[in-house]
């Protein structure tokens, strides 16, 4: 299983390192890192820029573009709504409120940043991740959850969206 995860991470890194206009895979990654000092989950999603742009525009009927500073406020608003709908986090049987912090463009990819409300160190973590599923029926997302230095990873392929991990 770990070899498969590493293989898909390698694919993601290779694909994001080349400047491709079209890519053969629809893949993203989401990391949930529990910070024991702030007692929050720090969440980072990484997706191909054009894929995320298309999914958000399809969802909201817009024509928003990354790499356009004038559209950044509107894109932030759209991404905040989009993440609230397609990204959920639950610990110890309680849904967590998540605060959208913003996004950052990195050549052909986009990083999205969120932070959860404060909680005690979780024993059970549940996620529902369906980012880009509204646009691609071959999308897969690699999910990493880290609590207390222990990292667990799994691939979720459309239509799979739920992941449960015990720590």
What's the whole-model pTM score? 0.85
**Alpha carbon 37 to chain centroid, angstroms:** 23
Per-residue pLDDT for 130 more than 80? yes
Residue 125 exposed, middle or buried by CB count within 10 Å (0-12, 13-18, 19+):
buried
Q: Where are the domains of the chain?
A: 2-12+31-166
Q: How many angstroms separate the CA atoms of 139 and 149, rounded?
A: 28
How many CA atoms does the CB half-sphere of 29 hold within 13 Å? 19
What is the predicted pLDDT for the residue at 4? 52
Task: Evaluate if residue 160 carries a pLDDT over 70.
Answer: yes
Q: CA torsion sign, 83 to 94 to 39 to 122?
A: negative
For residue 71 the two structure tokens come to 């559209």
E-state strands within the chain: 27-35, 40-48, 87-91, 94-95, 98-106, 109-116, 124-129, 140-147, 150-157, 162-166
Contact between residue 105 and residue 67 where contact means Cβ atoms under 8 Å apart: yes
pLDDT at 20: 43
What pLDDT sits at residue 23?
A: 73
pLDDT at 17: 47
Predicted confidence (pLDDT) per residue in 68-108, tens digit: 999 999 999 999 999 999 999 999 999 999 999 999 998 89
- Read off the pLDDT of residues 6-53 as tens digits, 9 standing for 90 and up: 445 545 555 444 444 567 789 999 999 999 999 999 999 999 999 999
């Amino acid at each position: 299983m770990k070899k498969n995860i590493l293989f898909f991470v390698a694919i993601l890194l290779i694909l994001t390192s080349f400047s491709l206009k079209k890519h053969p895979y629809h893949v993203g990654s989401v990391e949930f890192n529990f910070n024991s000092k702030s007692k929050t989950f720090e969440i980072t999603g990484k997706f191909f820029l054009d894929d995320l742009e298309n999914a958000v525009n399809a969802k909201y009927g817009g024509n928003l573009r990354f790499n356009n500073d004038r559209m950044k406020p509107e894109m932030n608003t759209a991404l905040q709504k989009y993440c609230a709908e397609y990204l959920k986090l639950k610990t110890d049987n309680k849904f967590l409120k998540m605060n959208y912090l913003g996004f950052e463009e990195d050549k052909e990819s986009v990083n999205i940043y969120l932070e959860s409300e404060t909680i005690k160190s979780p024993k059970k973590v549940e996620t529902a991740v369906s980012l880009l599923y509204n646009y691609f029926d071959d999308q897969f997302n690699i999910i990493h959850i880290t609590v207390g230095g222990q990292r667990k990873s799994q691939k979720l392929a459309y239509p799979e969206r739920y992941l449960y991990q015990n720590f």
